[in-house]
């Protein structure tokens, strides 16, 4: 009897202390505490923004030092420069096809729901747009991606420039081979150190979440939610369709285990949701994807590239917003007009990289191109933080899926090439044996 009691006592699971709760639980507690603080004490809530800013600074501190060596190592270890071009080509083709599909979904959904009809356009304040660029500078985008001073680009956190420089360094190292083995080992050590640092930084996520939620609730409040509830609902419905229908179909076509992938990165998507920053999870996302089974050489290239050119959630928001503005001002939303919106956004959405308040700037530029009044964009600024959270989380999931699709495609291509080589080898041997036998008979 005493032995049974001892076994039962020993078998009891050890209870966690409250400070040992999972990061996801702490993040949820931070959301609740932030919302409460922002509502009860708005002045204190606005002051808590410093916690969010400190967390984002910590994240941005590790992004470039991690992404740069990963891209360099990934490219230097590829068997040829052709593979780099092939991965880039597949990624860009995927980005274009998927974002175009999402834009068509967005304008169709917004048209069917009639978003913007009867919206209170008189309350819009266009002066809020005065500090934003009125268009997308594609020449500036190209110059932004090709830095004249790489150290300045590193200091600015210029991800596009970092990718460009890392690609050249990786190709150079691949050409030199074993002569740069020590450099490769050094960069690999830097990457491992930065992965460890990322683990430390992520532990501060609940504090950042507390700061952002407190500030958002205190600063923006919920006053405009009622008048723009239809727009918010349309955006969230579209994003839900992306996550629940479009992404699973893409995953099924390319045989990617979508729901296990979603489970692996779900916590990071949640952090991106509340911080409204995809950069906040870039470094740990690369680590999670590698743990999920994707190859580092693919993820370290496709995901940072997708952060600039594959913003699935953002393009849906922009398309719904354009239809909203057109309906609010009684402008045409027939089929040619909707297709024109899609065409304009396909081009302009690729110019978001390196632009402050990128989604709003692209929306403003698209509105100007289509002849829509800027007051409509100003009207949506009041609820931008609400939709920004969801579209940022979808961007993270979309880029994770893109990396999985490209990596799976590359793996299958390599398997086919290996099978082709294996199939040719016996045939060559058979031909050689026949030739040898024929030569022997001639003698």
User: Which DSSP letter does residue 222 get?
Assistant: T
Contacts of residues 82-88 at CB distance under 8 Å and 24 or more positions apart, as own/partner, are 83/410, 84/167, 84/170, 84/171, 84/301, 86/410, 87/298, 87/301, 87/302, 87/406, 87/410, 88/301, 88/305
Q: Is the pLDDT of residue 8 over 60?
A: no
Instruction: Give the mean model confidence (pLDDT) for residues 38-48.
Output: 87
Instruction: For residue 408, count other CB atoms closer than 10 A to its CB.
Output: 17
Q: Is the pLDDT of residue 78 over 50?
A: yes
| Alpha-carbon gap, residue 408 to 200, rounded angstroms | 31
Output 334 or 382, whichever has higher pLDDT. Answer: 334
Instruction: For residue 178, count other CB atoms closer than 10 A to its CB.
Output: 7
Query: CA-based diameter of the chain, in Å?
Result: 102
pLDDT digit string, tens, across residues 112-142 = 998 888 776 654 445 544 444 444 455 666 7
| Alpha-carbon gap, residue 27 to 317, rounded angstroms | 26
Most confident option among 15-19, 208-212, 269-273: 269-273
pLDDT band at residue 427 using 50, 70 and 90 as cut-offs: low
Instruction: Give the mean model confidence (pLDDT) for residues 163-187.
Output: 88
Q: Is the pLDDT of residue 242 over 80?
A: yes
Q: Is the pLDDT of residue 215 over 90?
A: no
* pLDDT given for residue 155 in this prediction: 85
43-67 burial, b at 16+ Cβ within 10 Å, e below that, comes to eebbebbebbeebbebbbebbbbbb
Contact of 348 with 362, CB cutoff 8 Å:
yes
* pLDDT given for residue 226 in this prediction: 59
* pLDDT given for residue 384 in this prediction: 77
List the domains of the chain with CATH numbers. Answer: 22-414 (1.10.3860.10)
Please report how many Cα atoms fall inside a 13 Å half-sphere around the Cα of residue 398, on the Cβ side. Answer: 35
* pLDDT given for residue 421 in this prediction: 67
Helix orientation angle between 296-309 and 49-76, rounded to the nearest 10 degrees? 130
Output 261 or 346, whichever has higher pLDDT. Answer: 261
Least Cα distance to 406 among 178, 219, 250 occurs for 250
Radius of gyration for the chain, computed over Cα atoms and rounded to the nearest angstrom: 26
Contact of 139 with 351, CB cutoff 8 Å:
no
How would you class 152 by CB atoms within 10 Å of its CB: exposed for 0-12, middle for 13-18, buried for 19 or more? exposed
Instruction: Give the mean model confidence (pLDDT) for residues 290-307.
Output: 89
| Alpha-carbon gap, residue 148 to 403, rounded angstroms | 29
Residue pointed to by tokens 């609820």? 383
Which tokens hold the place of 204? 């501060």
pLDDT digit string, tens, across residues 331-381 = 888 888 888 888 888 877 765 554 445 677 677 777 777 777 777 777 777
Which tokens hold the place of 21? 């709760």
């Amino acid at each position: 009897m005493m032995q049974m009691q001892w076994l039962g006592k020993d078998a009891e699971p050890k209870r966690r202390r409250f400070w040992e709760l999972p990061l996801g639980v702490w993040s949820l507690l931070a959301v609740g505490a932030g919302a409460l603080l922002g509502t009860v004490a708005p002045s204190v809530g606005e002051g808590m923004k410093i916690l969010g800013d400190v967390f984002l600074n910590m994240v941005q501190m590790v992004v470039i030092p991690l992404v740069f060596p990963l891209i360099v190592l990934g490219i230097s270890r590829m068997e040829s420069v052709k593979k780099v071009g092939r991965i880039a080509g597949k990624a860009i083709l995927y980005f274009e096809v998927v974002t175009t599909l999402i834009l068509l979904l967005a304008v169709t959904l917004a048209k069917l729901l009639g978003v913007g009809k009867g919206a209170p356009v008189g309350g819009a304040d266009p002066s809020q747009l005065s500090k934003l660029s009125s268009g997308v500078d594609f020449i500036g985008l190209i110059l932004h991606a090709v830095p004249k001073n790489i150290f300045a680009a590193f200091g600015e956190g210029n991800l596009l420039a970092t990718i460009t420089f890392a690609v050249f360094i990786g190709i150079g190292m691949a050409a030199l081979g074993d002569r740069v083995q020590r450099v490769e080992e050094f960069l690999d050590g830097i990457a491992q150190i930065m992965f460890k640092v990322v683990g430390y930084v992520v532990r501060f996520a609940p504090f950042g979440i507390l700061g952002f939620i407190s500030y958002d609730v205190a600063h923006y409040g919920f006053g405009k939610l009622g008048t723009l509830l239809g727009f918010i609902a349309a955006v969230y419905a579209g994003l839900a369709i992306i996550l629940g229908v479009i992404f699973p179909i893409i995953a099924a076509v390319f045989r990617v285990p979508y729901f296990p992938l979603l489970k692996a990165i779900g916590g990071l998507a949640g952090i991106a949701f509340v911080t409204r920053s995809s950069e906040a999870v870039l470094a740990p996302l690369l680590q999670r994807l590698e743990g999920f089974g994707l190859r580092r050489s693919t993820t370290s290239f496709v995901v940072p590239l997708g952060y600039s050119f594959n913003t699935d959630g953002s393009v849906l928001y922009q398309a719904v917003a354009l239809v909203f503005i057109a309906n609010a001002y009684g402008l045409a939303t027939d089929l040619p007009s909707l297709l024109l919106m899609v065409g304009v956004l396909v081009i302009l959405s690729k110019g978001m990289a390196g632009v402050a308040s990128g989604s709003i700037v692209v929306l403003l530029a698209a509105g100007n191109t289509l002849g829509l009044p800027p007051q409509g964009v100003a009207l949506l600024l009041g609820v931008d933080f609400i939709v920004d959270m969801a579209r940022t989380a979808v961007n993270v999931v979309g880029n994770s899926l893109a990396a999985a699709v490209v990596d799976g495609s590359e793996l299958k291509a390599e398997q086919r090439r290996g099978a082709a080589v294996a199939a040719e080898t016996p045939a060559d041997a058979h031909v050689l044996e026949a030739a040898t036998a024929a030569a022997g008979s001639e003698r």
